[in-house]
Amino acid sequence: MQEIEFLYDFGSPNAYFVHKVLPGMAAKHGATLRYEPILLGGVFKATNNQPPMMAFGNVAGKVAYMRKEIERFIARYQVPFKMNPNFPVMTVALMRGAIYARGKDWENKYIDTVFDAMWRAEEKMDDPEVMHRVLANAGLPADKIAEAIQTQDIKGALIETTSKAVDRGVFGAPTMFVGEEMFFGKDALDDLDWWLGKG
């Protein structure tokens, strides 16, 4: 059985879009899907990369085209989306929470809850009180998560997953792997679909 590794950061709207599409694609091909939290800011620093709005901000027409691309994606996949007015949101605590959630029976619920809070409910998720409220309202162990993300084990694990991603050639998010074949960005979903179809 093929496995899709999904390297993500909640602060990326494109990671949210891919998150909404990947489960269906995995099911279509009988593949498993594994979420791997990374810290996008750490990846950018290690690779000398920049967020798209910064990297292309001075390129005539580029940002407007990226917005059009998002509109087409939303229409094609019928993904509910609201641009978070608090963007960019610092996601260190959220990604540490994702590290803590790994392997637990509420991991998928945590991921869904945070992505939806960021890109549907327009929540300011880098505010600890907001984060706690959102998680608690979803029935997640907000107190345990708040405690865990302050521990060195969780902090170190996020640094490790981010460093390993960079070592594999990752320069941004969302990034997907099938084995060692890398697919970057929501635009790579068609290629990923084709690759999975090859078996």
Q: Determine the pLDDT at residue 55.
A: 66
Q: What CA dihedral angle connects 131, 133, 137 and 141, to 10 degrees?
A: 70
Is 3.40.30.10 the CATH number for 3-198? yes
Cβ-based neighbours of 6, under 8 Å, separated by 6 or more: 18, 19, 22, 33, 34, 35, 36, 174, 175, 176
pTM (predicted TM-score): 0.94
- DSSP-derived pairing of the beta strands 181-184 and 175-178: antiparallel
Please report, in tens digits, the pLDDT of each residue of the chain (199 residues total).
999 999 999 999 999 999 999 999 999 999 999 999 999 999 999 998 777 766 666 778 888 998 999 999 999 999 999 999 999 999 999 999 999 999 999 999 999 999 999 999 999 999 999 999 999 999 999 999 999 999 999 999 999 999 999 999 999 999 999 999 999 999 999 999 999 999 7
Instruction: Give the whole-angstrom CA distance, residue 100 versus residue 96.
Output: 6
pLDDT (tens digit per residue) in 62-98? 889 989 999 999 999 999 999 999 999 999 999 999 9
Residue 97 to residue 161: CA distance in whole angstroms = 13
How many whole angstroms separate alpha carbon 61 and alpha carbon 69? 12
Q: Write b or e for each residue in 93-132: b if 16 or more Cβ atoms lie within 10 A of its Cβ, otherwise e.
A: bbbbbbbbbeeeeeeeebbebbbbbbbeeebbbbeeeebe
According to DSSP, the β-strands at 32-37 and 3-8 are: parallel
Rounded to a whole number of angstroms, the CA Rg of the chain reads 16
- Per domain, the residue ranges of the chain are 3-198
